[in-house]
Chain A
């Protein structure tokens, strides 16, 4: 990771962590505030519910008192006592309920038989379940009221009416339903639900809100079931699709303590959720902004620090590429980086100096090697010439016909010797006068095949050890831009070198194949192989491992390949043969930078 990236990461992380911490802190504070507010609102609503419950109960009790004291009921009680027949009075309760604005009114005989029922007229004659002496005279209480198609929850009161020996009971009240819920003043974000616990299992049909509709209540079921079972208040947070809601459930009990209903006070957490969402998104926004600003600042700071370093690195790269005149002394940098730049420039000056000295030494060494090789090459043909001249000098004393014979022999020897000298001089001249390549489209495979065709007779001569030639030419190689004459000479040198490396015979393998930059040609033998030292000096002119070599063959190979912008190298190890690799670009424009032998 670069210094710039590291600096960017650190600044971004610091900004993000800071914003996150601030966001979490604000969110927690907001949540605590909302929860406290919720508790206050729920308590206020519960107090309002209890107050309303008491008011309604008082009102119901007052109305039942009025009914019990009414002349009409007293007269009815007298008539019932006189007739002993309840049938004519079956409709009494309905008119009483209508007169008092009550939902339920039941006229019940002393033995508990229903004389008249406003809410369920057809139920006359059967036993009444809740209007009896134990509750007569007491205040209003909660009661499950059976109706034709349902069981309702009612706030009812019971009074006794005595007329002579007969005793009647009148009971009645109002439904505890959505009308009751509507009487509650609900703050924004709150709602009250009433669950009527009149079925053996939790039933959503029994849940109503102020609108009288049964809201979707599946998530409320566990809470209701818990309150039903324990008879204790409980609370849950319900996750609805549009946000959370805190629900407090309060049991509503009857005179016997049994849970007849559950009041659910729900406080929406949607505002809190919205606020938290706003805080979260603000945090994300500020965090993102902080990261961007931090990135810009860190980039600027990093640029101040890294630019001189990059200049030094660039200068080092250019020196490595051969540009020895590069200097970074004018870099605008701090003290440490400036010292680094100055040290770099000193190093570059020293490197140039040492390189010049090295070139000079190498040049001297090359001349010495050339002189040594030239002396060695010339010494061999000169020795027979000197002997011949000595023979001629001695032959002046011989008879003429013998002198003529010696002269002829000597002239022949001199001619041969001069020719040898001429060959040596020619070879050195050829190397010195390597012509510039003439590029054209050539097929490497054709070059290889033509070379083998030229040298096959020489390789397979009867006095030569057997060499197995294997060509593995990939037709996908296509063509390259090259000088066919020079490339042929390269192949010829490599093939003959390989054959020479196998004095006891072996296998010669030539392979062509597509390469990343163009085409590769491999020439392998199964000879003795090369030592590390031999491999290092292999392409040095006039270096040879053969007794009669000039040491120019591979130097010519390297020179030609370099002129074609290619490269040549060898893989070899003692006892495992050698393989020479040549890689040529398809065109000279494709040549990789710095390609060399």
Chain B
């Protein structure tokens, strides 16, 4: 009897061990379900858009089907469709060796002239020509960070087939584009290796709350997650992955509060902010305090930026201010709960210091605010370009100096421009936010992360439990 029991226990242990091995071993097959909050319209990464959320969602999806010449990985810049590159001394004429043997989604091989045509479409100002197995890019002006620039999804190589079909070289090919869903299928002859999953189904235009609910209910495998919901998922045992910080949340004072006479007041107000508490509690450890516009990984000099926050005034000193200076109306996007949570903490911090902050999240007409809490993306490109783009989005009426672009592409010039931007304290950086993704229980953990460092998904190496063994 004891032998029988021991045998049963041994069999049960073996079966359990097999199940565990099956759970961690990569498997082929299955359809991965993902959701994004924006409606993307077309998956063409070079298609112009005025909606940052749509740009981000489109870039995220585009990387599944379209590849760039270079890619930003956690450990730095890597070649992708280009195998090597070199520039002239001025860094205005570049030669990129195009990877050979890359099969496009239509079964043809990727040719350098197709790469050149794609880049000419996305950057009309450049002169791009194919030379043998390479392409030559003449930017006109020195552009030492061009390989970083080309890693951007906007510069992904898109071959336009008959009837305007979008053809790429990525691990997945576009199968179908509907109003609220984009479907992909695995690209069998992918030049690296075929993806584990057979297909990807991406629902677009899903609200964050709905995405969260779908993930928790097992109706979705990968969704976008807000920082304020991250702890909720981890407590349920679900994984949350983050990109590098790709968004800046900043307080931007309106023109009537932006003149030099109010500089000391703005500094005093900025000094009340408790960024650490915002990051650790409100944003649940998924954000980093920001004292600069550009995130540190992008500029490299973030720690060198001198804080423009003034000394904290005593409550009595603030109480002695005129009533209109003690009361600050901060406007936030009524649809952005993250910004609202930050604004509420900002209001608490300021209130404890003696200010009265009214958080205004209007859906219609509302009184003129004193400041706005803005949330802008930090493009994964060169620091000067990123600062120029971000500063342009921080432009407020009556404060054009706040958006002065860097004088040159030199990092020092970018640093000086950013420092000058922050010295006026019209723009007060608060936190840098990454893109967060909730990963469902079905998704097997690959060696590489699902979230790419510069945003987007890396789904070629993801498998689904219960997929085809």
A contact set with B: CB distance below 8 Å? 85-88, 90-91, 120-126, 148
Query: Is the pair A88, B352 in contact by a Cβ cutoff of 8 Å?
Result: no
Query: Is the pair B281, A87 in contact by a Cβ cutoff of 8 Å?
Result: yes
Extra contacts, 6 of them, besides A91-B231, A126-B352 (Cβ < 8 A), are A87-B281, A87-B284, A87-B285, A122-B344, A125-B274, A126-B348
Instruction: Write the nearest CB–CB distance from B279 to chain A, whole angstroms.
Output: 9
Query: Is the pair A120, B285 in contact by a Cβ cutoff of 8 Å?
Result: no
Query: Is the pair A124, B277 in contact by a Cβ cutoff of 8 Å?
Result: yes
In the bound complex, residues from chain A placing their C-beta under 8 Å from that of B282 are 90, 122
CA–CA, A284 and B347, complex, Å: 66
CA–CA, A123 and B344, complex, Å: 9
Contact of B239 with A by CB under 8 A: no
Contact of B181 with A by CB under 8 A: no
In the bound complex, residues from chain A placing their C-beta under 8 Å from that of B347 are 122, 148
Instruction: Write the nearest CB–CB distance from B205 to chain A, whole angstroms.
Output: 28
Query: Is the pair B344, A124 in contact by a Cβ cutoff of 8 Å?
Result: no
Query: Is the pair B281, A123 in contact by a Cβ cutoff of 8 Å?
Result: no
Closest 3 CB pairs of A and B: A122-B344, A87-B280, A122-B345
In the bound complex, residues from chain A placing their C-beta under 8 Å from that of B359 are 148
- B159-184 contacts to A, CB under 8 A, are none
Contact of B341 with A by CB under 8 A: yes
B contact set with A: CB distance below 8 Å? 231-232, 274, 277, 280-282, 284-285, 341, 344-345, 347-348, 352, 359
> Could you jot down 20 A-B contacts, CB within 8 Å?
A85-B280, A87-B281, A87-B284, A88-B231, A91-B232, A120-B348, A121-B344, A122-B341, A122-B344, A122-B347, A122-B348, A123-B348, A124-B277, A124-B281, A125-B274, A126-B348, A148-B344, A148-B347, A148-B348, A148-B359
Chain B minimum-CB-distance residue to A148: B344
CA–CA, A125 and B351, complex, Å: 13
Interface centre among B280, B281, B285 (most CB of A within 10 A): B281
Instruction: Write the nearest CB–CB distance from B328 to chain A, whole angstroms.
Output: 14
CA–CA, A120 and B282, complex, Å: 12
CA–CA, A487 and B347, complex, Å: 116
In the bound complex, residues from chain A placing their C-beta under 8 Å from that of B231 are 88, 91
Interface centre among A87, A90, A120, A148 (most CB of B within 10 A): A87
Query: Is the pair A125, B281 in contact by a Cβ cutoff of 8 Å?
Result: yes
Query: Is the pair A90, B348 in contact by a Cβ cutoff of 8 Å?
Result: no
CA–CA, A90 and B231, complex, Å: 10
In the bound complex, residues from chain B placing their C-beta under 8 Å from that of A90 are 281-282, 284
Chain B minimum-CB-distance residue to A87: B280
Query: Is the pair A125, B344 in contact by a Cβ cutoff of 8 Å?
Result: no
CA–CA, A87 and B283, complex, Å: 10
CA–CA, A120 and B359, complex, Å: 14
CA–CA, A88 and B231, complex, Å: 8
Q: Secondary structure of the B side of the interface?
A: helix
In the bound complex, residues from chain A placing their C-beta under 8 Å from that of B280 are 85, 87
In the bound complex, residues from chain B placing their C-beta under 8 Å from that of A85 are 280
CA–CA, A126 and B274, complex, Å: 11
CA–CA, A121 and B345, complex, Å: 8
Chain A minimum-CB-distance residue to B232: A91
In the bound complex, residues from chain A placing their C-beta under 8 Å from that of B284 are 87, 90
In the bound complex, residues from chain B placing their C-beta under 8 Å from that of A88 are 231
In the bound complex, residues from chain B placing their C-beta under 8 Å from that of A126 are 348, 352
CA–CA, A124 and B344, complex, Å: 11
In the bound complex, residues from chain B placing their C-beta under 8 Å from that of A125 are 274, 277, 281
Instruction: Write the nearest CB–CB distance from A117 to chain B, whole angstroms.
Output: 10
Chain A minimum-CB-distance residue to B357: A148
In the bound complex, residues from chain A placing their C-beta under 8 Å from that of B274 are 125
CA–CA, A91 and B229, complex, Å: 11
In the bound complex, residues from chain B placing their C-beta under 8 Å from that of A123 are 348
In the bound complex, residues from chain A placing their C-beta under 8 Å from that of B344 are 121-122, 148
Chain A minimum-CB-distance residue to B277: A125
In the bound complex, residues from chain A placing their C-beta under 8 Å from that of B285 are 87
Chain A minimum-CB-distance residue to B280: A87
In the bound complex, residues from chain B placing their C-beta under 8 Å from that of A91 are 231-232
In the bound complex, residues from chain A placing their C-beta under 8 Å from that of B277 are 124-125
Chain B minimum-CB-distance residue to A86: B281
CA–CA, A176 and B344, complex, Å: 24
In the bound complex, residues from chain A placing their C-beta under 8 Å from that of B281 are 86-87, 90, 124-125
In the bound complex, residues from chain A placing their C-beta under 8 Å from that of B232 are 91
Chain B minimum-CB-distance residue to A117: B348
Instruction: Write the nearest CB–CB distance from A200 to chain B, whole angstroms.
Output: 13
CA–CA, A126 and B351, complex, Å: 11
CA–CA, A85 and B280, complex, Å: 10
Instruction: Write the nearest CB–CB distance from A412 to chain B, whole angstroms.
Output: 136
CA–CA, A121 and B359, complex, Å: 15
CA–CA, A148 and B343, complex, Å: 11
Instruction: Write the nearest CB–CB distance from A149 to chain B, whole angstroms.
Output: 8
CA–CA, A142 and B274, complex, Å: 32
CA–CA, A176 and B88, complex, Å: 76
CA–CA, A122 and B282, complex, Å: 7
In the bound complex, residues from chain B placing their C-beta under 8 Å from that of A121 are 344
Instruction: Write the nearest CB–CB distance from B157 to chain A, whole angstroms.
Output: 44
In the bound complex, residues from chain A placing their C-beta under 8 Å from that of B352 are 126
In the bound complex, residues from chain B placing their C-beta under 8 Å from that of A122 are 282, 341, 344-345, 347-348
CA–CA, A172 and B49, complex, Å: 49
In the bound complex, residues from chain A placing their C-beta under 8 Å from that of B341 are 122
Instruction: Write the nearest CB–CB distance from A186 to chain B, whole angstroms.
Output: 36
Instruction: Write the nearest CB–CB distance from B197 to chain A, whole angstroms.
Output: 34
CA–CA, A125 and B347, complex, Å: 14
Instruction: Write the nearest CB–CB distance from B356 to chain A, whole angstroms.
Output: 11
In the bound complex, residues from chain A placing their C-beta under 8 Å from that of B345 are 122
Instruction: Write the nearest CB–CB distance from A475 to chain B, whole angstroms.
Output: 84
Interface centre among A85, A87, A120, A122 (most CB of B within 10 A): A122
CA–CA, A90 and B282, complex, Å: 8
Interface centre among A85, A86, A90 (most CB of B within 10 A): A90
Instruction: Write the nearest CB–CB distance from A136 to chain B, whole angstroms.
Output: 24
Instruction: Write the nearest CB–CB distance from A23 to chain B, whole angstroms.
Output: 58
CA–CA, A197 and B280, complex, Å: 36
Instruction: Write the nearest CB–CB distance from B332 to chain A, whole angstroms.
Output: 13
CA–CA, A121 and B232, complex, Å: 15
In the bound complex, residues from chain B placing their C-beta under 8 Å from that of A124 are 277, 281
CA–CA, A167 and B345, complex, Å: 26
CA–CA, A87 and B231, complex, Å: 11
Chain A minimum-CB-distance residue to B278: A122
CA–CA, A87 and B280, complex, Å: 6
Chain B minimum-CB-distance residue to A120: B348
Instruction: Write the nearest CB–CB distance from B141 to chain A, whole angstroms.
Output: 46
Instruction: Write the nearest CB–CB distance from B367 to chain A, whole angstroms.
Output: 15
CA–CA, A85 and B282, complex, Å: 14
Instruction: Write the nearest CB–CB distance from A300 to chain B, whole angstroms.
Output: 79
Chain B minimum-CB-distance residue to A126: B352
Instruction: Write the nearest CB–CB distance from A145 to chain B, whole angstroms.
Output: 15
Chain B minimum-CB-distance residue to A116: B281
Instruction: Write the nearest CB–CB distance from A151 to chain B, whole angstroms.
Output: 12
CA–CA, A197 and B414, complex, Å: 55
In the bound complex, residues from chain B placing their C-beta under 8 Å from that of A120 are 348
CA–CA, A366 and B178, complex, Å: 145
CA–CA, A334 and B341, complex, Å: 106
Instruction: Write the nearest CB–CB distance from A85 to chain B, whole angstroms.
Output: 8
Chain B minimum-CB-distance residue to A89: B281
